[in-house]
Amino acid sequence: MDWPDGHCKYVYHDDSEEARRHNSGWAMRNTNNHNVNILKKSCLGVLVCSLRCRMEESATVHLRPAICDKARKKQLGKSCPNPRCDGILELQPCRGHCGYPVTHFWRHVDGYVFFQAKGVHDHPRPEMKASAEARRHQFGTKENRHPLVGHSAPLSMSILIELFSS
């Protein structure tokens, strides 16, 4: 993961796993732009502690939001992973692109993958995907599950296509 941020463009080789799987490190979800040639994704932000606590190593709580809407809703309201904190998890949405989530664009051409980002994330990085998966499996069992705590539940596309062309 190289955590690209800000308005930037990169070209990856097709043999790069990151590029082939369209992974930037940020928690991005697919969004329909009615263009099969350009894959668009928007940032989901990060899960933070409602009390903004700090762990021993002065590290903040910044968990990775689930991509799936249903799974993400289940994360909200769970207790803070810090055992000495009574806070609950809440979503800090991304507003890094004119008040809206940062967007990523991926285009596959020949043996290359063209990447472009729009916006600057206004939130901490979420944990890496592998870390989030480990957390899922660790706390996903009935015995170890965190208790639920009360919860109620620009540039135009035409220009972008031109930038990507040739």
Binding residues vs DNA (CB under 7 A): 21-23, 29-34, 36, 39-42, 64, 66-71, 74, 100-101, 103, 106, 129, 132, 136, 140, 154, 156-158
User: Tokens 């979800």, residue?
Assistant: 29
Residue whose CB is less far from Zn ion, 18 or 112: 18
Look at residue 114 and give its three-state secondary structure. strand
Least separation, in Å, of the C-beta of 15 and Zn ion?
27
Single-letter amino acid code for the residue at 67: I
Long-range contact pairs involving 139-143 (C-beta distance under 8 Å, separation at least 24): none
Residue among 13 and 52 whose Cβ is closer to DNA: 13
Helices (H) and strands (E) in the chain, counts: 4, 7
Q: Judge whether 103 and 40 are in contact, CB under 8 Å.
A: yes
102 binds, among DNA, Zn ion, none (CB under 5 to 8 A by kind): Zn ion
Amino acid identity for residue 71 in this structure:
A
Residue 138 CA, chain-centre distance (Å), reads 21
Q: Could you tell which of Zn ion, DNA, none binds residue 53, using a CB distance below 5 to 8 A set by kind?
A: Zn ion
84 interacts with, out of DNA, Zn ion, none, CB within 5 to 8 A per kind:
none
- Give the tokens for residue 34: 């009615």
Q: Which residues contact 158 (CB under 8 A, 6 or more apart)?
A: none
Residue 39 C-beta: closest distance to Zn ion, Å: 17
Report the nearest approach of DNA to the CB of residue 46 (Å).
13
CB of 129: closest distance to Zn ion in angstroms? 15
Site residues for Zn ion per CB under 5 A:
43, 49, 51, 53, 80, 82, 85, 87, 94, 102, 121
**Smaller CB distance to DNA: residue 23 or 80?**
23
* Distance of closest approach, residue 37 Cβ to DNA, in angstroms: 8
Tokens 């063209």 belong to 114
